[in-house]
Amino acid sequence: MNTNISAIIGAAKVEAIQLLRSPLLVVLTGIQAITFLILVSLFGLTGSMAPTALVNYDQGSYSKSLIQNLQSAHHSFRLEPMSSDEATKELAQGKLVAEIIIPSGFSQTIINGGTASLAVNVDNIDTDMTHDIQRALPSAISHFANQQEFPNIHVTVSEHDLINHDTSYISYLIVSALALDAFVVAGILSAVSAAREFELGTVKLLWLAPVHPIFPFIGRMITTDIFAMASMIGSGLIVVAGYNVHLLHPFEMCAALSVCVFICGCAGTMLGTALKRVLPVSSLIFGLAIPFYVSSGALEPERFDGNFMWYAGHISPLYYAVGFLEHAAYGFQVTPEPIFLDVIMLFVWAIAMMLLTGYILQRKLVI
């Protein structure tokens, strides 16, 4: 057998043995993948289940209709009927985001043709939540008014959905979280593997061996990528079974995850080789993961927050990965670029990362 191939296979086996004999590292890295799914779910949960008190002093029919509209007006609400005293107390304790008060005589005022007033007390410690309340109330009121066919309402909403089914925010988000998982799992495993060679001083053996040191590093990366892929399959199963996501294109999903793992494995190997220390490189990958993920446009289908962030997103492979993954899961096109361009760009990233990693290994490993 060619010595280079023998070195790749030998290093791949050694990495597998080392990982299997470090079950804590493997298990904890797998758990990281799950905790990142939970983390991303929490973004959605906090945004969609804001507890809001409903204090109703009116027993008329209009107040009941308004409450129904409030409940269906905006995903952000979790309306909790309670007394005024309870609501005031819980709002002060930070347990509620807002308190909506339907005054006594609300229905009668409307029957009499008057203008009824709703009092809203808002905990504006986080304006994001305040804005949700501010957006939701007029929407619910106008819907209520249309439903009751109040005079002087001349505008109604006629909604036509682009997609024939709704996707909850968390279901949408959790698919993109797989790209974040790939970055963390493949990045950490490959970075630790590369950095450990320097930390233990075993890289000297590779310098002395009659093969280019890049070959054993390739062997190690193949194994870490296989372990990372196994972890990704676990995460994927959680997404399918736990979050009830029905994959539209399962093979496309596998391809997308494989490319993500490869890119992130290269990135980890490169950073591990450049930094040569396990702890700093692990911290760096954790530090990079969330910003790359958030700037990738994962949290919303399009960038609505200005061109700078939109352009910044394009320099991250996760941007194209999220596009690829959302298409694989739901058939969505979530980037302005067509899906084939996302796929091409992701493969361009894979080739670029492979070449860059090769260059860094060449620079750092050759005497």
Rounded distance between C-alpha atoms, residue 202 and residue 222, angstroms: 19
**What would the DSSP string read from start to end of 24-93?**
HHHHHHHHHHHHHHHHHHHHHHHHH-EEEEEEE---SHHHHHHHHHHHHH-TTEEEEE--HHHHHHHHHT
Kindly state the tokens that stand for 65. Answer: 């209709």
Rounded distance between C-alpha atoms, residue 188 and residue 93, angstroms: 40
Taking CB under 8 A as the binding criterion, the range among 62-70, 77-85, 207-215, 232-240 that sits at the site for another protein is 207-215
Instruction: Confirm or reject binding of residue 6 to another protein (CB under 8 A).
Output: yes
Kindly state the tokens that stand for 111. Answer: 């029957």
- In 3-state terms, what secondary structure has residue 119? strand
**What would the DSSP string read from start to end of 87-102?**
HHHHHHTTS-SEEEEE
Kindly state the tokens that stand for 88. Answer: 């005031």
CB of 201: closest distance to another protein in angstroms? Answer: 4
CB of 261: closest distance to another protein in angstroms? Answer: 23
Task: Provide the mask over 185-204, with x wherever binding to another protein is found by CB under 8 A and - wherever it is not.
Answer: ---------------xxx-x
Centre a 10 Å sphere on the Cβ of residue 22 and count the other Cβ atoms it contains: 13
Taking CB under 8 A as the binding criterion, the range among 208-216, 236-244, 245-253, 315-323 that sits at the site for another protein is 208-216
Task: Provide the mask over 15-34, with x wherever binding to another protein is found by CB under 8 A and - wherever it is not.
Answer: --xx--xx------------
Instruction: Confirm or reject binding of residue 221 to another protein (CB under 8 A).
Output: no
Instruction: Confirm or reject binding of residue 9 to another protein (CB under 8 A).
Output: yes
Which one of 54, 102, 184, 206 is in contact with another protein (CB under 8 A)? 206
Edge-to-edge strand order for the sheet containing 119-122? 77-81, 50-56, 98-102, 119-122
Taking CB under 8 A as the binding criterion, the range among 7-15, 91-99, 240-248, 345-353 that sits at the site for another protein is 7-15
CB of 28: closest distance to another protein in angstroms? Answer: 16
Q: To which residue do tokens 């309670």 refer?
A: 82
- CA-nearest of 40, 62, 35, 14 to 298 is 40
CB of 362: closest distance to another protein in angstroms? Answer: 14
Taking CB under 8 A as the binding criterion, the range among 8-16, 55-63, 119-127, 286-294 that sits at the site for another protein is 8-16
Give the phi and the psi of residue 20 in degrees, each rounded to 5: -70, -30
CB of 276: closest distance to another protein in angstroms? Answer: 14
Region 111-140 residues binding another protein, contact defined as CB under 8 A: none
Which one of 75, 95, 212, 277 is in contact with another protein (CB under 8 A)? 212
Of residues 60 and 216, the one with the C-beta less far from another protein: 216
The residues binding another protein (CB under 8 A) are: 1-3, 6-7, 9-11, 13-14, 17-18, 21-22, 200-202, 204-212, 216, 367
